[in-house]
Amino acid sequence: MAMASAPKRPALALRPAGRWLAAVARELATPRTLVVGGVLVIVGYLAVVPLVYLLHDTFTGPGGLSIDAFTRAYTANSQAGRMMINSLEFAVGSGALALGIGTLLAYVQVRTDAPLKGLFFAASLVPLIIPGILYAAAWIFLADPRIGLINVVLFQPILGHGLFNTFSMWGMIWVQGLHLAPIAFLLMGAAFRSMDPALEEAALMAGAPRRLLLRRITMPLVRPAIVSAILLMFVQSLESFEVPGLLGLQNGIYVFTSRIYFVLRQFPIDYGAAGAYALGLLAFAVAGVAASGWLSRNARNYQTVTGKAFRPRPMELGRARLLVGALVVLFFAVAVVLPVAVLVYTSLLKFYSAPSLDSVRTMSLANYRTVLHMPLATTALRNSVLLGVGAATVVMFLTAVASWVVVRTRAMGRRLLDVVAFTPLVVPGLVLGLALSFVYLRTALPIYGTLWILLIAYSTRYLPYGMRYASSAMSQTSGELEESAHVCGASWWQTFRRVLLPLASSGILAGWVYILVVSFRELSSSILLYSPGKEVLSILIWEQFENGQFTTLAAIGVCMVAILVLLVLVAYRLGARFGVDDSSR
């Protein structure tokens, strides 16, 4: 009413400044500004709180501002140079291995007529589902130089000694790379699926050989996804603790995270030095973001989802079909069957021992009975499902909007938004836990001690992953579709909901699944934030590990794999109904 009557009384007080304000207010009140503004505030808040906490602890000493923490962390006896080289080797190595495997699998699955496509689903998701600790433990039982099954069964009889050593840099890269490959698979699969094959077909018609086609057409078209995948896996390897913790320490191979772990458990706790290491990680990661920004410049060139209809047609492999099938089976055997088999085997024992007549005789289902009778198992399962679904939904909604701002608009500071949304990746989980408990212990809102604080923690931790999935999906979707919707009179919100989201849904669903799955694994921040009654599955698993109950642990792992495979299947079925390309099945 007031707005309507205002123009009738121009003489009254509406001076130019007032009119400008009214215009701004009108502009601000649109759904677009409200949604975008709200999302930006939330994303900024989630990412900035732990970062500020980290910076505060790192740069303050007893006498105010200081950089002593860096001196403690990087000089004297810290062996910081060696540690940084180890970190880089580990991150680059496992990132490269994961990208190679993930891309190849994704391409074969989405774009060819390879046999045994059902296997891809398991091959790509099971390693992701198995918690890092369990996956590393399984590989100890497989490739330990003395007791590893592969060494004992295959190599010791021939060579007299084991061939593989899981406690080496190569062993670490192998385990981490296999464990990460699903991320690459999910990202690249989404990219290949939403790629218009017209260009490939044109090249084929023009007589280009297959290899040239791959190098000059296909790969450049999925470059944003490749860059995102490299970045994610590089940073995730830098940030992961399980593999360096379980496999690296044996031979003194330290990386950033194992140093942080070490520093955080001393008394008095040197938060400053831990922060200095975390900021070192951040520097590497920011360099990664910058590089990825540079690599995906001219993003318009990669927009393949345009107004034209397309139907990806699978490439016929011909005689190579058999070979490709065999390779898929091999990968499946190594990455899935072996570790899961070892887990199943272990879950039937009373204590771990290499397979023998004795161990077979003691086998029983006792560990599964223990799991079923764990008083916390149902609570933890319920909480984990709630948090996983909740965090995945919150993050993918936030990042879908945020990535739209980054990719589509020319808003000032959109690069900064990209970087800000990325920072939680390098805040160690434990520091995130400390930061959140610090903040919410001092607010009146009933958040501390409830599931909400865990939801906030998970949403923060997985923001960067959501951002990568969403922005690589967005950058493949051409702006012309939005423009058409706009021309047809659709509001921004309608366009976003009815045009953009469905088009990017393949990538967004992949991100959703990924976050759901990794939420089940989240440990380092949960461990400080959970309260009695608010336990989650990862806590239960960690407890079993800490207590050395490998056999019960294995039983929980087997159950968890079964539950998550089921959940993910349901998600894909539902996704298929809402228009996600169903070639994944």
Partner 1 sequence: MVGTLAVVVALVLSACGKSVTSGTGGGGSAAGTPAEKVYQQLNALPADQQRAKAIEQAKKEGTLELYTSLTDDLVASVKEAFEQQTGVKMNVFRAASETVLQRTLQESSANRTGNDAIETNFGEMGLLSKQGVLADYRGASFGSVPESGRFPGWLADRLNIMLPAWNTKLIKAGQEPRSWEDLADPRFKGKLTLELTDSDWYENVTKSWLRHGKTQAQVDDLWQKMVANANVAKGHTVMAELLGAGQTAVDGMNYSYITQNTAKKGAPVAYRSADGIAHTIGFARPQGVSMMKGAKHPAAAWLFNDWMLNEGQKLLVSLGLTPSAKVPGDNSLQGVTLEPYDVQGLTQDSKTWDDRYDRLLRGLKQIGGD
Q: Scan residues 61-90 and list those touching partner 1 (CB under 8 A).
A: 77, 79
| 39 DSSP β-pair partners | none
Q: Which is nearer to partner 1, 282 or 510 (CB)?
A: 282
Q: How many CB atoms lie within 10 A of CB 189?
A: 28
CB of 158 to partner 1, least distance (A): 20
CA 267 to chain centre: 32
286 scored as a contact of partner 1 (CB under 8 A): no
User: Across-strand partners of 64?
Assistant: 61
Instruction: Give the three-class secondary structure for 409.
Output: coil
C-alpha–C-alpha distance, residues 174 and 179, integer Å: 8
* Residue 164 touches partner 1, criterion: CB under 8 A: no
User: Under the criterion CB under 8 A, does residue 320 sit at the interface with partner 1?
Assistant: no
Segment 199 to 228, residues that bind partner 1, using CB under 8 A? none
362, 498, 562, 574: which one contacts partner 1 (CB under 8 A)?
362
Contact flag: residue 41 with partner 1 (CB under 8 A):
yes
Question: What is the DSSP annotation of 509-530?
Answer: HHHHHHHHHHHHH--TTHHHH-
Residue 410 binding partner 1, by CB under 8 A:
no
Please give the Cα distance from 559 to 425 (Å, whole number): 29
Q: Which stretch binds partner 1 (CB under 8 A): 219-227, 264-272, 317-325, 477-485?
A: 264-272
Contact with partner 1 (CB under 8 A) among 24, 202, 547, 569: 547
Using rule CB under 8 A, residue 293 touches partner 1: no
Beta bridge partners of 112: 315
Q: How many residues does the chain have?
A: 585
Output the smallest distance, CB 568 to partner 1, in A: 29
3-class SS at 548?
A: coil
98, 243, 417, 558: which one contacts partner 1 (CB under 8 A)?
417
Q: Is 522 in the site for partner 1 (CB under 8 A)?
A: no
Applying CB under 8 A, does 60 fall inside the site for partner 1?
Answer: yes
Q: How far is the CB of 401 from partner 1 (least distance, A)?
A: 12
Cβ atoms within 10 A of the Cβ of 500, count?
23
For residues 386 and 457, is the Cβ–Cβ distance under 8 A? no
- Is 556 a binding residue for partner 1 by CB under 8 A? The answer is no
Contacts to partner 1 from residues 366-395, by CB under 8 A: 375
CB-CB neighbours of 546 under 10 Å: 10
Q: Which is nearer to partner 1, 220 or 252 (CB)?
A: 252
- In the bound state with partner 1, the residue whose beta carbon lies nearer, of 503 and 541, is 541
- Closest to 121 in 3D by CA, of 571, 450, 481: 571
Nearest Cα residue to 346 out of 557, 178, 176:
557
Q: CA torsion angle for 505, 511, 517, 518 (degrees, to 10)?
A: -170
Judged by CB under 8 A, which stretch of 39-47, 153-161, 288-296, 563-571 contacts partner 1?
A: 39-47
Q: What are phi and psi of 253, to 5 degrees?
A: -90, 95
User: Is 146 one of the binding residues for partner 1 (CB under 8 A)?
Assistant: yes
**Which of 18, 31, 446, 548 is in the footprint of partner 1 by CB under 8 A?**
548
Span 426-485, contacts to partner 1 by CB under 8 A: 434, 437-439, 441-442, 448-449
